[in-house]
Structure 1
């Protein structure tokens, strides 16, 4: 039963990667192996190992796995309970880190997921004026799993780890927009701001000043919001790995 579940979800994850254009973890690890070979040829084995060892590997996963898979396909919740899906995603992250460790990685940072329930698209689909608490709880549980798994990996593999908290950064910007100079937190800059995202924004009108918006479209933050999150991420990494 466990094997069948794993195989089914593995196919599902590969399909999602193909749908979004993202590379499956297995392919990314393959590219890392190839990169390491080329690096050895360029600088020699000792220097190559040092480069890999001192590099910081950043993993970001989970958002599309929920928004464009578990929640968008009505069949998914019937196939897998939320707990099963959370555990599977966590196990994939665990295996990805172990795979990178085998290739020499010793510093790994994992980005948590944002507050799903505050995304304009989710609020529209859930018919919510404010953030959807149930969706945010899923994101909170997923992030907690990540933090616990990172502690396990740190203890078992002896690697340096960092958790990048994007959830609270975005949640704070939405709750206290004046801190960052935002004026619009409930909808995106593109189109209606409530449903369009990605390619569906092509040809749509946009707001006059994106720097006043937390969200660019109904899912993705604006460049300004990403910059704020990136600064927080660099601060977390610096404190965890570069101090």
Structure 2
């Protein structure tokens, strides 16, 4: 980021880390639990430090402006209440996962027919509908819990 700043970049937008413990990959590693609390806790700690780091370096970098989109919180919202995002499955992946690590789709494996009803496409990555919702909120949200310290629309104006 400092290198980009040194060549003239002044506006940055970041997604923080999502709830890693809620991914299909993490759930598969702990089949008797709804999520991996340790993974979520570590993501939460990282996300808090990320915002603190940007707040700390801002005074040292004149003209530096940023937005952190709270991917963690927004994703948890849909895990807790899937219907508000049009999701019906927030625990499984849309595609059949490879046996190696359970992250990526199996080559030639089955893929769900209604991708928009799934929160996760593979063992780790969200589906396009969640990214679309995330982009809309990042751009226009007035809630600092979703986009901090302001939204991307305002970032474009500063």
Instruction: State the TM bucket, normalised to the shorter chain.
Output: 0.7 to 0.9
Do the aligned partners of 2:89 and 2:119 also contact (CA within 8 Å) in 1? yes
Kindly provide the CA deviation profile for residues 85-119 of structure 1, in whole angstroms up to 9, marking residues without a partner as x.
Answer: xxxxxxxxxxxx21111111111222201100000
Give the whole-Å Cα distance in 1 for the aligned partners of 2:58 and 2:93.
38
Kindly provide the CA deviation profile for residues 164-206 of structure 1, in whole angstroms up to 9, marking residues without a partner as x.
Answer: 11111111111111101111011011016996433x4321111
2:78 aligns to what?
Answer: 173
TM-score with structure 2 setting the length: 0.83
What secondary structure sits across from 2:90 in the alignment?
A: strand
Give the whole-Å Cα distance in 2 for the aligned partners of 1:106 and 1:192.
40
Moved runs in structure 1, 4+ residues, more than 6 A?
none
C-alpha displacement of 1:241: 4.4
TM-score with structure 1 setting the length: 0.56
Looking at secondary structure, tell me which structure has more helix per residue.
Answer: 1
Do the aligned partners of 1:193 and 1:218 also contact (CA within 8 Å) in 2? no
User: Which shifted more, 182-191 or 155-164?
Assistant: 155-164
> How many residue pairs end up in the alignment?
146
1:25 aligns to what?
Answer: none
1:61 aligns to what?
Answer: none
Match of 1:155 among 33, 36, 59: 59
Match of 1:214 among 119, 139, 154: 119
C-alpha displacement of 1:133: 1.2
Give the whole-Å Cα distance in 2 for the aligned partners of 1:128 and 1:193.
21
Give the whole-Å Cα distance in 2 for the aligned partners of 1:128 and 1:120.
13
What secondary structure sits across from 1:137 in the alignment?
A: helix
1:8 aligns to what?
Answer: none
Specify which structure has the bigger relative contact order, considering alpha-carbon pairs within 8 angstroms and separated by 6 or more residues.
Answer: 2
Q: Which has the larger radius of gyration?
A: 1
- Pair 1:143-2:58 in alignment: no
Give the whole-Å Cα distance in 1 for the aligned partners of 2:20 and 2:131.
16
Do the aligned partners of 1:190 and 1:196 also contact (CA within 8 Å) in 2? no
Match of 1:197 among 77, 88, 103: 103
